[in-house]
Each structure stands twice: as C-alpha cells, then as structure tokens.
Chains A and B, each alone.
Chain A
Amino acid sequence: MSDGQIPEGEQNPYAQPTTENIQPAPTNVDYSAPVYHQSQYIIRRKVLKIFGAAFHIYDMAGNLAFYSKQKAFKLKEDIRIYGDQAMTSELLCIKARGVIDLGMTYDVIDSTTQQVVGSLRRKGLKSILRDSWTIQDVNDQEIGTMTEESGALAILRRFIGGALVQLVAPQQFNGYIGDVPVFQFNQNRNPFVQKITLDYGPDVNGLLDRRLGIAAAALVCAIEGRQN
C-alpha cells in the first residue's frame, strides 16, 4: 500500500459528500412492541389546556397507550409522545423544521434510538381549504398521503365554524401508502369533547411504519385542536 492510500475499513475524510447514504443505519429497536400494533385507539384531548397542548391515546381496552405533550414556548413546534403520563419513557419526538405553519414539514424521530423514521409534510395551499399531508421517508421521498375527506365539508368547517359542522359531519382523515388505504381517523360528533378514533385496521399488510401513523394522529390532533 502506498502512502497516499487510505487503510482498509477507514473513510476518506476528504471524499466528496454523497447523498446516497443518508438512510439511517438499521435500527435494532423492537418497535414491534404491542403498544404500536393495536388496530384501534382513541385520542382524548384536554380542551382547557392553553399552553403546551396534551392528549391521551388509549387502546380499545381503555388502557393508556401513549401520552402526548406539546412543548410550550418553543419557536419551532415540538411534540413528544410518551409511553406513560409521568413522561418517563419518551417514544417519539415530532419536530417542525420551521416556524411558520403553512406547508410545514415535521420530522418524526424515534426517541429510543434517536433515528429519524420519516417526516410528515402539510401541503400549504391545499390545506387552506382541506387538510392535506404527505407521508415521507427519511430521504423526503413521498410514500403516502393523509387527506381530510369531503372537500365541501372541510370548507364549511373553516368558514362556518367547526363545532356546528362537527355535529352534522365529523371530520375524517384517510391515510394511504401509495394508493393502499392504511388508516382512518374519525372525529366524534360532540364538539365539547375532543375525541378522535384512530383505525389502523385497513393496513392489513403492515405497509405503514406505525411510528409515523401515531405521529400523524398526534399532529392532526395538535393542529386541529389549535385551529378549533
């Protein structure tokens, strides 16, 4: 080996930066934990919490599956999801990339491994009339979508008032990986109790990284709660 060569197994520190390696190293985390793999959950949101919105996500047996808390007084939105209400076991971190809400991308980070698992991007202009999101992989490539159903009702909700329309036609979000349905979020009819049913039942082939699915629900709840 000549002097100019780099020993085997070492990286050339002067190498041109590449983009093909931005995929994170494979994770060993056992995110197959049953808590991620219920087919249905219910989110209840504390309506009276002004700073740092918080909500509980229960499984269908009524056990607390996740507790989510939005950090108050942060310039960039920062939502954490814990396995318990005492906030001792942080599972996910959802961080906005910017400050202004329209068309924002939120990175979803697995707090147990510190790995970015993907991101969720709110389509700015489209979301003015009807909430519309893209689900992205770690390289910002679109892998799926999440859209508010019924454009006409979405417009009524924005211009007439959420509570009235909620009574007649509760908000509904459908999620897809490619064209395959993977989840459905349904708001309840009672405008005084913030409750959303999360149904991951359509994802029979396990196409959705459930961490992204839970993060999507938390974002919808946080953003819709703020808009209401």
Chain B
Amino acid sequence: MLETACSQCNHVWSVPPSKKGGSVNCPSCGVLTELDGASDTGWFYGLTFGGFAVLGLPFGVMAVIGILNGSMSMAVCSGSIFALAVLVLLFVLFGS
C-alpha cells in the first residue's frame, strides 16, 4: 500500500500500489491528488541515455579521432551519424 497525504486538508490515507504515478481524490475533502513515483521514469531515462551511450557516443569519439588523424571522410561519416544520434536523443527527450 502507498501512503499519501492530501495537499489541501492533510488527510493521510492508503492507496493500492498500482496507483503509483496516477491521480486520486482525497477521501476527506475530494481534492484531486497526484501520486508521485511513475515507476518507469528511471527506466525511460536509463534506456534513452544508455542507448545514446552505446549507439551514438562511439561515433562522436570516432569523429574526433578522424579529425585528429586528418581523416576527413571518417570524421564526416562518424560526425554525421553522431549528429543524427544527438537529434534522435533530443527528439526522444523533448518529444515525449
């Protein structure tokens, strides 16, 4: 059970764990209360940044290596893919 307190009348009551992240009405005064802890927010950020670290970041590193070694084709190719990965990351973060 999750314990929650009403922001208006301070009444404390329990709701089923399935309500996590949802909305409930205070049984005392009826005010709408948002329950925190959307259980998968951590998963969302973990998967998003984890995916970026695995699939995007290596291309950024390769682009830098390409620039340092004077290999422009490698720098441009890797840099383009890295830029695309950054765009996808921004889209997922701000578009969700």
Contact = CB atoms under 8 A, between A and B. Distances in A.
B53 interface: no
A98 B24 contact: no
Given A24-B30, A100-B40, A114-B31, A19 B22 contact: no
Given A99-B96, A109-B32, A17 B44 contact: no
A76 B21 contact: yes
Q: Which size bracket describes the interface of A in this complex?
A: 20 to 34
Contacts of B22: 95, 97, 105, 107, 119
B16 interface: yes
Contact of A11 (B11, B19, B20): B11
* SS of A interface (majority): loop
A48 interface: no
Given A97-B21, A140-B19, A21 B41 contact: no
Given A17-B12, A100-B40, A73 B94 contact: yes
Interface string A116-141: 10010000000000000000001110
A61 interface: no
Contacts, number: 88
Q: Which size bracket describes the interface of B in this complex?
A: 20 to 34
Given A13-B10, A115-B25, A100 B19 contact: no
A152 to B, nearest CB: 31
Interface string B1-37: 1010000001111111011111111011011100000
B13 to A, nearest CB: 5
A24 B14 CA distance: 14
A17 B96 contact: no
A19 B15 contact: yes
B54 interface: no
B44 A75 contact: yes
A18 interface: yes
Given A105-B18, A109-B32, A22 B24 contact: yes
Contact of B30 (A25, A76, A100): A25
A98 B40 contact: yes
A73 B24 contact: no
Contact of A73 (B20, B21, B95): B95
19 contacts: A13-B11, A21-B13, A22-B15, A22-B27, A25-B25, A73-B95, A74-B96, A95-B23, A97-B22, A98-B21, A98-B38, A98-B39, A99-B40, A100-B43, A109-B32, A115-B25, A116-B32, A119-B22, A140-B18
Interface of B: 1, 3, 10-16, 18-25, 27-28, 30-32, 38-41, 43-44, 94-96
Given A22-B27, A76-B21, A97-B21, 5 more contacts: A13-B10, A17-B13, A76-B38, A99-B40, A115-B32
The 5 closest A-B pairs by CB, nearest first: A21-B27, A97-B21, A24-B25, A17-B14, A99-B44
